[in-house]
Amino acid sequence: MVEVTGPRIAAIVIVYVCTANVNRSPMAAALTSHLAATRGLELTVGSASTLLRPGHRASPATLAVLRARGIDAESHRSRTLTPELVADAELVLTMERAHLRVAALMAPGAFDKTFTLKEFLRRALRTDARYAYEPLDRYLQRISIGRDPVELLTTNEADEVADPQGGPQAGFVAICDELALLCEGAVELLFGNAQPG
């Protein structure tokens, strides 16, 4: 996990989830941590996989696209999502609905704080901005109004961040560019109106 400290609003713990924790979720975590550091936000960001494959480095392609953005992720090692990680997180953001379904069943109340990254952005953009000093759980309740768990049992490409694994380097660049925009949007929605304390 990368811990970033700065002006205090309220510390937020985010965990990004993908299949193997070597491409998409480490990219998202590194990009979000970098954004938080440049903005002086207090944020703890981690990532995990839905597979039992701990201890792997980020893929060379992932390390390269992050390095091109001035971000060093050499220390990353994959880890498996656990009930404890989900319980300790205040927000779990997944790359696919399949990951959401795994995470949402891991701990009591997990569904209320688990979204695909794209679903989170879509819902947040349709809701009034997070108020200054508004607790994150209250904000998540607001953006979840009308959310149907049954809908999330299906697959919808609109909610997925594609896995570049096995593809050309250009695919990793494209996914990193997409995640950079999505993560910037998430940080803005979470902290845009929040006031330092």
Cβ(4)–Cβ(71) under 8 Å?
A: no
Q: What is the DSSP letter of 109?
A: T
Residue 197 lies in a domain: no
Q: Average pLDDT in the 19-25 region?
A: 98
Residue 122 lies in a domain: yes
Burial letters for 89-120: b for 16+ Cβ neighbours within 10 Å, e otherwise?
A: bbbbbbbbbbbbbbbbebbeebbebbbbbbbb
H/E segment holding residue 53: none
Cβ(77)–Cβ(54) under 8 Å?
A: yes
Checking if the pLDDT of 1 tops 90, the result is no
CATH number for the domain including 17? Answer: 3.40.50.2300
Q: Which domain holds residue 131?
A: 2-191
Residue 149 lies in a domain: yes
pLDDT for res 133 = 86
Instruction: Describe the strand order of the beta sheet including 12-18 as a list of residue ranges.
Output: 2-4, 43-49, 12-18, 91-94, 114-116
Q: What percentage of the chain carries pLDDT values higher than 70?
A: 92
pLDDT for res 194 = 55
Residue 45 lies in a domain: yes
Residue 176 lies in a domain: yes
- Rounded distance, CA 195 to CA 25, Å? 28
Residue 196 lies in a domain: no
What is the tally of structural domains in the chain? 1
Cβ(16)–Cβ(58) under 8 Å?
A: no
Q: What is the pTM of this model?
A: 0.91
Checking if the pLDDT of 167 tops 90, the result is yes
Q: Average pLDDT in the 41-47 region?
A: 94
Q: What percentage of the chain carries pLDDT values higher than 90?
A: 82
Residue 135 lies in a domain: yes
- Write out pLDDT tens, residues 171-192: 999 999 999 999 999 999 998 8
End-to-end CA distance of the chain: 24
pLDDT for res 102 = 96
Q: What is the DSSP letter of 36?
A: H
Residue 82 lies in a domain: yes
pLDDT for res 3 = 36
